Structure formats: structure tokens, C-alpha cells
Amino acid sequence: IHAGEILGIAGVSGNGQRELAEAIAGLREIEPGSSIELDSSDVTLCSTHERREKGLGFIPEERIPDGAIPDFTVSENLVLVNHGDGNFTKRGLFSFDSIRSHNVELVSDFDVKTPSIETPTSSLSGGNIQKVILARELSAKPTFLLACQPTRGVDIGAAEYIHNRLIEQRGIGTATLLISEDLDEVIGLSDRIAVMYEGEIISIVSGEDAERNKIGLLMAGVTD
């Protein structure tokens, strides 16, 4: 995947998309002899945390509980994976003023509708929970973003907002792997589209040349 590109993964559910995402994120072992590189750095043996430190941003398929912990506050979820960042600590202790200032800014920048950053995340709508996850991941300035089903179960307004953010990331040079069962979403956002069938990528087509019917046939395993 190139910098400044969105590569979409199209496929019927259950054809290896989840396994691919978990392998890239460091949540699943890959076959011996295979490797994963991020910015020319081999991260095959790296943990998810180590991959994040090397530039990975990850929007998981299941926002609850994989992307956000429902009983945590909005503020806690905004620093869930980067609370040890030097910007949030001072002499080994949490700087709560820095954390609060950071999170108030993110809630505003990402249009998260919440009464307070101390509101339990479980009380937010699905779209706003997804914005919390998006804010956390994008604020870390990833060089590679793994976005899995980013608009599943959110309203039209939130979906459009998320799409615009992904396009913005492309504009600043982020490489994005978009895994979605929404074919219109994949076609509408992707520079290239890789079609998965029975655990393998069987075709890669240009986003400009993508035809819904052709991709639909490929998703069914028809390559002729």
C-alpha cells in the first residue's frame, strides 16, 4: 500500500477479511515464512503496541469492546492506547491537565456529541463512539491506517463525516487499508480495490475502473 492511497478490500463476509486485519494488527500469528512490513520496517514479530509506535492506526471491526470500553469515560477511551505518551506524563506521573486539554480539543475537532468528556462512553450513539475511536487513532498521526467496517451501524451523517476524514488522511499522505462489506463505500473511497475470495486476494482493480457488477462477480469467485 502506498503513502496517500486508500486500498479497499471487497469481499463477502467470511472470506478472510477479519483474519487479514488481525494479522496486520498483530492479533493473529501469520504463517511461517510470511512477513509484514511497515515503512520498510519488519513488524512481523512486533506486538500491537509496538506496531502502533511504528505508525499503525487501527479502527477495529467491533467498536465495542475492541475499539472502546463502554464503562470507561470518553476521556479514558481517548487515551486508551496512548496514555503512556510523554505528552501525558510528567516525572512518571499522569498529567491530568494535559490529558483533559488534549481530550477537550479532540471532542471539538471530531464533532463528538457528548455532554462531557467524563460521560460514560456507553451512553453515546454508535456514530459518536466511532468518532471517539477515530479521534484517538488519527490524533496519533499514523502513517498506516487499518480501518475495518468504519461506518457499520452509524447514521448517514456520521458515515459521511468518517468518509471525509479518511479522504483527509489520504491527502496528508496516510496509507489506508479499508476493509468493508459495503461495496458502495469501497468503490467510493478506494484508489485501488483488492477482492478477497476464500481467503485469497484474487484480483486488484483500479478505483477509477471499478464496476459494481464486475466486482460483485469477483466476490463470488468468478474471474473469467
Ordered by start, the domain boundaries in the chain are 6-219
CATH 1.10.260.40 fits 6-219, yes or no: no
What is the per-residue pLDDT across 151-186, written as a single tens digit (0 to 9) for each?
999 999 999 999 999 999 999 999 999 999 999 999
C-beta separation of 77 from 136 below 8 A: yes
Work out the pLDDT band at 81, boundaries 50, 70, 90.
confident
Helix (H) or strand (E) holding 140, with range, is none
pLDDT band at 143 (very low <50, low <70, confident <90, very high): very high
Torsion of the alpha carbons at 5, 10, 14 and 16, rounded to the nearest 10: -40
> What confidence tens digit (pLDDT) does each residue in 92-133 have?
666 678 889 999 999 999 999 999 999 999 999 999 999 999
The H or E element that residue 23 is part of is helix 17-25
pTM of the complete model: 0.93
Single-letter amino acid, residue 188: G
